[in-house]
């Protein structure tokens, strides 16, 4: 499906990114495996995870190069895309997968914890996508695949920074889809549920948390890769601006914000009228304060 294509996979050294890089290579793509090699909180640097994936791809007869630049900087992101151009002469797909976690309950979250997560997930997705966008525009084609999360789409406790970044990515992806459609460029999101280093930080103290963790551990990162490969291919040429959740053998098309219900009052509203009429009329349609585990409450299929 990807013969002759060149794909950049950020955070490609481990977990979901690794499986996507390997799957894209098996589908015929040349792959830039980008990974800073930091731990799950973003600390440290290690070139070996990205190089190990490259070695595996090359051993299987594919083409790949490693890149250790940070996604979170304008110039370093441009070097990631430049690695594809220098090594393979073009770039056809960017998978924005790189991420870190700095979980904390909101009233204890620090500015540094918020900034670090926003920098890697949201700014990083922007920087790498922006670096590729000018090349996509020039060649009249290209695909972005961004990783969002049910933590943002639905909600989770202790992840305000992560949820904010992941919902920001949804808005970023939709804007890219709108702005670049005329150039033949597509942009979609995947919300993955799989056991990885990042989900390995999910708390497992209470019985409910332990049960949730057991469900997550059944879902391997390899289950996410086929959707990413499809979105990078010509088979998805008419698919853009969408959000897909992938959970073991299940694929969901996720909703996007649209009006649910409205009320109207001639002459406008007073605070008292809002309290007496508007809110009672709207209340039955309020969205519940769910967490992702409440919405996806059944065992993986």
Catalytic positions:
162
Q: Dihedral angle at the C-alpha atoms of 291, 293, 297, 301, nearest 10 degrees?
A: 130
Closest of 206, 130, 211 to residue 175, by C-alpha: 130
Taking the C-alpha atoms of residue 94 and residue 96, their distance in angstroms, rounded to an integer, is 6
Question: CA-to-CA distance for 101 and 120, rounded, in angstroms?
Answer: 10
CA atoms of 88 and 6, how far apart (whole Å): 7
Pull the structure tokens for residue 139: 């060649």
Secondary structure letter of residue 241 according to DSSP: S
Tokens standing for residue 89: 């002469």
Q: What's the order of all strands across the beta sheet hosting 250-253?
A: 64-67, 30-34, 6-10, 93-96, 142-147, 185-193, 243-247, 250-253
């Amino acid at each position: 499906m990807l013969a002759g294509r060149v794909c950049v996979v950020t955070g490609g050294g481990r977990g979901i990114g690794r499986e996507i890089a390997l799957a894209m290579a098996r589908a015929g793509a040349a792959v830039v495996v980008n990974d800073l090699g930091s731990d799950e909180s973003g600390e440290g640097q290690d070139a070996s995870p990205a190089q190990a994936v490259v070695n595996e791809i090359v051993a299987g007869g594919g083409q790949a190069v490693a890149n250790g630049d940070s996604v979170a900087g304008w110039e370093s992101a441009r070097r990631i895309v430049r690695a594809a151009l220098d090594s393979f002469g073009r770039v056809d797909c960017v998978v924005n997968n790189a991420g870190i976690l700095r979980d904390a309950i909101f009233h204890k979250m620090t500015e540094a914890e918020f900034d670090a997560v926003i920098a890697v997930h949201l700014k990083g997705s922007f920087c790498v996508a922006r670096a590729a966008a000018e090349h996509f525009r020039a060649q009249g084609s290209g695909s972005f695949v961004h990783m969002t999360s049910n933590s943002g789409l639905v909600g989770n406790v202790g992840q305000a920074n992560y949820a904010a970044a992941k919902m920001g990515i949804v808005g970023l992806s939709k804007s890219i889809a709108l702005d670049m459609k005329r150039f033949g460029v597509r942009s979609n999101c995947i919300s993955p549920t799989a056991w990885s280093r990042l989900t390995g930080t999910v708390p497992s103290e209470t019985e409910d948390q332990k049960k949730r963790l057991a469900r997550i551990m059944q879902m391997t990162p390899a289950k996410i890769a086929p959707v990413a490969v499809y979105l990078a291919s010509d088979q998805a040429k008419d698919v853009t601006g969408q959000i897909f959740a992938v959970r073991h053998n299940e694929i969901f098309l996720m909703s996007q914000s649209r009006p649910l219900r409205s009320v109207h009052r001639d002459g406008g509203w007073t605070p008292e009228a809002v309290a007496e009429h508007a809110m009672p009329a709207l209340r039955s349609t309020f969205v519940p304060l769910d967490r992702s585990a409440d919405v996806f409450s059944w065992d993986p299929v």
